[in-house]
Amino acid sequence: MKAILVACALLAGCATQAPKPAPAPNLRELVSSLGVGRSTKSDVRAALGEGTVVNFDSGYEVWVYRQPAVEKPPTPAAELVLLFEPSGILSKTRVR
Amino acid sequence: MRVLALALLVCCGGALAAEPDDAVVVSALRNPVKKSYKKMVDGAALFEQRRGALAPAAALRFKLIARKPDTSLKNVELKVEADSIAIPLKVAPDQTFTIERNRTALRENAEVTPNRKAGTMTWRADVRTPGLPPQTRRLGDLRLECEVGMKAGLISNYPQGFLGWLDGLIGQRPEYCHRAEPRYLFFAEHPVFSVTLVDGARREVLPVDMLYGGATRDPKWKQDKYCDCEALFDHAYFVPLGDASWPDDTRVEIEYMGPNS
């Protein structure tokens, strides 16, 4: 009986001590780490990884990052859009 | 001697060919753009029918838009042409023009023809309510642009099955514009970064998938040389025309990429 109690206690301990996954940083937090007029494509790639890239003949590029909706805690889907000037510097951002 | 005579003949022949009076001027363009005059008149008539409901203060013009990056529409000449008539149309510096009703042109099934080759340019209706702030369109104007554009047959015609998503558009009637999110492309004056719908306190930024012809969802967008947005991908956007929760007076605010803007 004692052994069973110990086993239960251990299991309960394991259950309570299991590390919770860290919540993914949301896109608004991520964009605050970027500097409009300062960050380069390399900076952004290092901070956010690879996004969906649309490049235009003008030299401008749009990078898109998406975050799917999450049930708990309820978080709607979001998208981060970054605009790079032909010089490669981040010029505009928006989060939707 | 014979060689000398032959040389003289060749030289004189060259001189004669260069003589302006004898020059043959070929004014007809091979494979020109053509649009049905009747359809454009029908589009203008639809504008008059629907204006009261969608855009009471607006005026209609048609607009020529370059489809290839190297196509210039400066000084473009445009005419209504049929067997017995050729009526020049006045094109404004912004490449817009109007269509007048002409019985002979209708009877002879005239065509509207610019002096540009097919595939180098495209057409749109241009419906504008005066007095809007800069970088702002009105949703009712865009709804009417779509209906008139579809009625007037302004969207270029492609082989069935050739274009994927655009096939759903081809052959459609103005009712196509009543869908929640029709893929009818609008072109801003400058490259677009963001489009926002504004109705009073309600504001909604359109998803990036509604910009650039949907390029952010289509990795092969660069190869899509058959879309009539080819030269203006960065100017192109869709709007949720058929979403009745947005009234006609909704402002469509456009933020451009550059400072010009």
A83 reaches B (C-beta below 8 A): yes
On whether the CB atoms of residues B195 and B187 are closer than 8 A, the answer is no
Mean residue pLDDT across chain A: 79
Nearest CA-CA distance, residue A72 and chain B, Å: 24
Nearest CA-CA distance, residue A44 and chain B, Å: 18
What is the C-alpha to C-alpha distance for residues B259 and B261, in angstroms, rounded to an integer?
5
Name beta bridge partners: B32: B117
ipTM of the complex: 0.77
| Interface subset of A 26-65, CB within 8 angstroms of B | 52, 54, 56-58, 60, 62, 64
The position carrying tokens 């963001």 is: B194
From the number of C-beta atoms within 10 Å of its C-beta (0-12, 13-18, 19+), residue B153 rates as middle
What is the C-alpha to C-alpha distance for residues B165 and B168, in angstroms, rounded to an integer?
6
User: Taking residues B180-207, what's their average pLDDT?
Assistant: 94
Name the token pair of B13: 């022949």
On whether the CB atoms of residues B185 and B66 are closer than 8 A, the answer is no
Nearest CA in chain A to B193: A83
Nearest CA-CA distance, residue A55 and chain B, Å: 9
pLDDT at A26: 74
pLDDT tens digits, B203-218: 999 999 999 988 888 7
Q: Hey, which of A11-20, A56-65, B15-24 has the most confident mean pLDDT?
A: A56-65
CB pairs under 8 A between A and B: 41
Which residues in chain B are contacts of A52 at CB distance < 8 A? 216
Instruction: Determine whether the interchain pair B257/A94 forms a contact, defined as Cβ–Cβ distance below 8 Å.
Output: no
pLDDT at B239: 96
Instruction: Determine whether the interchain pair A94/B193 forms a contact, defined as Cβ–Cβ distance below 8 Å.
Output: yes
User: Taking residues B220-240, what's their average pLDDT?
Assistant: 79
Instruction: Determine whether the interchain pair B208/A60 forms a contact, defined as Cβ–Cβ distance below 8 Å.
Output: no
Using DSSP's 3-state secondary structure scheme, residue B86 falls into strand
Instruction: Determine whether the interchain pair A64/B205 forms a contact, defined as Cβ–Cβ distance below 8 Å.
Output: no
- Give percent of chain B above pLDDT 70: 77
pLDDT band at B5 (very low <50, low <70, confident <90, very high): very low
Which residues in chain B are contacts of A57 at CB distance < 8 A? 69, 234
Name beta bridge partners: A65: A80
The answer to which of A20-34, A40-54, B14-28 has the lowest mean pLDDT is B14-28
Please tell me which residue, B195 or B216, carries the higher pLDDT value. Answer: B195
Name the token pair of B155: 């969207």
Which residues in chain B are contacts of A96 at CB distance < 8 A? 205, 207-208
pLDDT at B214: 85
Cα A19 off chain centre by: 20
A73 preceded by a cis bond (ω within 30 of 0): yes
B6 reaches A (C-beta below 8 A): no
pLDDT tens digits, B23-79: 444 445 566 678 999 999 999 999 999 999 999 999 999 999 988 777 888 889 999
Predicted TM-score of the model (pTM): 0.80
pLDDT tens digits, B168-178: 555 568 888 99
pLDDT at B33: 76
